[in-house]
Amino acid sequence: MITLCGIPLSNYYNKVKLALLEKGIPFDEAYVKTHSHDEAVLSASPLGKVPFIRTPQGALCESQVINDYLEAAYPDTPRLMPADPFQAAKVRELITYVELHLELVARELYAEAFFGGQVSDGTKKRVARVLPENIAAFRRLAKFGPYLAGDTFTMADCAGWVSLPLVAMATKAIYGEDLLAAGGVDWKPYAKLIGERPHAVKVAADRKADQQASLAANRASS
């Protein structure tokens, strides 16, 4: 049995969770906060990052490594990567653009956009300079036909559904403008399409419940 470790507030945790659900792979969940210094966590995820999984063979960390493992280890479940090597590479290309060139850049804004912290003016200027160029590049690759890679749900959608809204919301909060939409990426119909899938509904509900629990805990401790 696989155990998925992390927190439902994490978009990368939910990326793996959605893949597990879509593939119909049985799994348990274990609540593990990110950047834990517990040795049991570090032995599985040396940077203390989530998500990671525990399997009978051992632990794996990094969300795309995990999803690639799931696709290879469970070939008799619904495929989330094309069988054709080139088309599979195009899916991985999209994942790289979503996570490395969009989400990771916008992530520098999250402390202020979502968590009540502050981000330096230099960081805001840098993100405002880099992100529109990256969005334009992503727009050249993404098909939205209606899925990111074309007419079939793939691993790219596990990544896109959990991360594109965060990019949009963070930039809206910091700059007063959704830079994804401003760059011509009509992400809302896409997010709605994926969000209506039964497994995405469950992921979203679990994320919302965890968010409400966290808010309640913060109020109780303040």
Task: List the CATH number of the domain containing 31.
Answer: 3.40.30.10
- 116: confidence class by pLDDT, cuts 50, 70, 90: very high
Among 42, 73, 104, residue at a domain's last position: 73
What is the tens place of the pLDDT at every residue in 5-29? 999 999 999 999 999 999 999 999 9
pLDDT (0 to 100) of residue 213: 83
Asked if residue 143 is part of any domain, the answer here is: yes
Tokens in use for 176?
Answer: 């007063």
Spatial distance between the Cα atoms of 170 and 68, rounded to a whole number of angstroms: 28
pTM, full prediction: 0.96
Of 76, 63, 72, the residue nearest 156 (C-alpha): 63
Among 73, 106, 130, residue at a domain's last position: 73
Tokens in use for 127?
Answer: 């993100």
Mean pLDDT check: name the lowest of 99-103, 164-168, 174-178, 209-213. Answer: 209-213
pLDDT (0 to 100) of residue 220: 74
Q: What one-character DSSP code corresponds to residue 107?
A: G
Asked if residue 203 is part of any domain, the answer here is: yes
Residue with tokens 């049995």: 1
Average pLDDT for 30-49: 96
Parent domain of 15:
2-73
Q: Is the pLDDT of residue 166 over 80?
A: yes
pLDDT (0 to 100) of residue 84: 97
pLDDT (0 to 100) of residue 222: 62
- Domain co-membership, 91 together with 58: no
Of 148, 115, 162, 161, the residue nearest 13 (C-alpha): 162
- Domain co-membership, 26 together with 121: no
Asked if residue 80 is part of any domain, the answer here is: no
Asked whether the bond before 75 is cis by omega within 30 degrees of 0, the reply is no
Asked if residue 139 is part of any domain, the answer here is: yes
Asked if residue 78 is part of any domain, the answer here is: no
Q: Residue 58 — φ and ψ, nearest 5°? A: 145, -170
- Domain co-membership, 103 together with 210: yes
Q: What one-character DSSP code corresponds to residue 108?
A: G
Helix (H) or strand (E) holding 139: helix 121-141
